[in-house]
A and B are shown apart, each in its own frame.
Chain A
Amino acid sequence: MTDYSNVPGLLETKEALGETTVVVDRASLRAACEYARDELGFAFLADIVATDYLDWAGKGVAGYIGTATGRDLNRPMTQGLQALPDVKPARFSLSYHLLALRQGAPRLRLQCWLEENDTVDSVVPVWPAADWFEREQFDLMGIRFDGHANLVRLLMEDDWEGHPLRKDYPIGGEPVRFSPAE
């Protein structure tokens, strides 16, 4: 087992479904990444992904049938407690999926939590691969990365308004170009 107790800014270590999630403080994310790369050997940044938890668990209890730990779907007809998913600490989670190229292919999810106007340090100096990964999350989710030299839209058009993967971005609500209403 890898020891994560010395990760800078460590808030929490979670094990679920065979995956390790290390939650770190937003301010020390870059230091945590450097630590993970240099001391823990996670040389390979597989992915950066942001998730918007706006209205998470806001749909009411009726839609959720399960036990406190989640419903056991392998045992049909399990009708236990009705449980809401855990409340999240902030609106956005930002997950860095790391891989160590060594025996057993250990993976690590470094995670930090952000509110809407929070920013986080860019990790391009740690892994050059983060360049487009961060630009994509900026483009689609509106996460801003401090110190990124070229934080402009990547997949959407340069003059696009809004960040489409946010939960408050309307479905089918984009304006129609060159329409009489424009």
Chain B
Amino acid sequence: MSTTAQHPGRSLRWPIVGEPPYEGSRIPARIPTILDVPAGLADTDDILQVNFGPNHPSTHGVLRLIVDLDGEEVVGLSAVIGYLHTGFEKSMEQKTWWKAITYPERIDYVGYQNNELVFVLAIEKMLQLEVPEKATWMRMLMCELNRIHSHLVFLGTSALELGAISMFWYCFRERETILDLFELVAGQRMHTRYFQAGGLAEDIPSGFYPEAHKFVEWMPHALDDYLRLLDRNQIWLERTKGVGLLSADDAIALGQSGPVLRASGVDWDLRRDEMYLAYDQVDFKVPVYTGCDVYDRYRVRMDEMAESVKIVRQCLDRLERMEGQPWIADDRKVVLPPREELHTSMESLIHHFKIVTEGYRVPAGEVYVAIESPRGESGCYVVSDGGPKPWRVHFRAPSFAALQATATCAKGALIADLIAIVGSLDAVMGDTDR
């Protein structure tokens, strides 16, 4: 136990392993997300204020950091976000539940499949819809492929920013393979809209399995390659080890989740600890590291990719034995009727027309559903008034929470470290700004 009694994130008990890298809390005292220039330095001429972003290539989008520098050292920092705010939550209130499913994918445009899942799970929870087993396993497979995809984007871009340009090409090569798999299944490389309330939009094409097996066979080799490229690279190690420290207590207090939390020695993964889909029936480990730095965040993601490949393989085994099983619930009030029935059945035509025009109705109530997205706890809070449109939709964006830790991680860092730190928090600005 490494808790301190006065710590803002203190709890009765939680699964922390390892020793904290520093004593007490490093969260800025006045405002948790703003690093203030120390009083003695503030009025001197030594401080150079630099505008880092919003169009800096290493801000992963449009993050703007206002950085106060004393020489090379970061002494003040505040983040400005909102450049990508597109009002998704407001837009979704104007769409029927059925049509709103396209929006969450575009919020976190790197972990799109997971974001789609969390919204669909929220609808299903309100409808209390039973989902066929095949759909559950395919969802799991798609989400794990998407997790690998997301971590590959992280790895490629973060390494690129620190000068390891070749990593970007290797990671994006494997990413292309994953996108091809998505295209094979859903017809879209990204933003597939493959998950429907009740199951999947289409059955899995038979050509998917051999291609997916090829990927599963290849990916562990690719991961070995990445490790060989980076893990013995002195520059990579020196730029990531011991940089951007965030203790377990601080991480919890700042609402960090996912790989950032696990790199700080908190053994916590919603896939295992708050089971959803069929994660209790697959065998996987939750990687936990205790270094609390940029390097360990990279290691957590590397290990997670290997674990995701394992999950994908198990899903494939199960799905191949489910040939011919239904992929979507048989509930004509919510689920579109099969296309071929529209020519012969009047009832089906009416149901199709009603769902597409008016949409299905969701019983009144409120739910909060959370899943482990590649970036951490991705939550969806929805309120329904019993009508065909959501009354309120809100997303708990893991990137939004992750960026709150920038000021804490950047304490005492150099300007060059800042690039490593922002990369390691793996924020997607679409997710942050929504």
Contact = CB atoms under 8 A, between A and B. Distances in A.
B129 A124 contact: no
Interface string A6-17: 000000000011
Nearest to B85: A155
A77 to B, nearest CB: 8
Contacts, number: 182
B254 A70 contact: no
Interface residues of B, number: 66
Contacts of A83: 386
B254 A95 contact: no
B9 A17 contact: no
A127 B365 contact: no
Contacts of A155: 81-82, 85, 433-434
Residue from A21, A43, A125 having most chain B Cβ neighbours under 10 A = A43
B363 A70 contact: yes
B128 interface: yes
B340 interface: no
B392 A64 contact: no
Interface stretch (B107-115, B186-194, B267-275, B293-301): B267-275
A57 B384 CA distance: 11
B392 A52 contact: yes
A169 B90 CA distance: 10
Prevailing SS type, chain B contact patch: loop
Contact of A49 (B130, B386, B394): B394
A56 B392 CA distance: 11
Interface string B104-148: 000000000000000000000111111000000000000000000
Prevailing SS type, chain A contact patch: loop
A90 to B, nearest CB: 15
Across chains A and B, which 9 residue pairs bring their CB atoms closest together, nearest first? A129-B255, A43-B11, A70-B363, A128-B32, A105-B274, A101-B14, A155-B82, A85-B364, A47-B396
Interface of B: 8-15, 27, 30-34, 81-82, 85, 87, 89-90, 94, 125-130, 252-255, 266, 268, 270, 273-274, 331-334, 360-361, 363-368, 370, 377, 379, 381, 383, 385-387, 391-392, 394, 396, 400-401, 403-404, 433-434
17 contacts: A21-B366, A41-B12, A46-B368, A53-B391, A59-B387, A66-B386, A74-B128, A85-B385, A107-B368, A127-B253, A128-B253, A131-B31, A131-B32, A132-B33, A150-B34, A154-B82, A155-B434
Given A103-B273, A171-B94, 11 more contacts: A19-B366, A41-B13, A43-B14, A51-B392, A52-B392, A53-B391, A64-B386, A65-B361, A102-B14, A132-B403, A155-B85
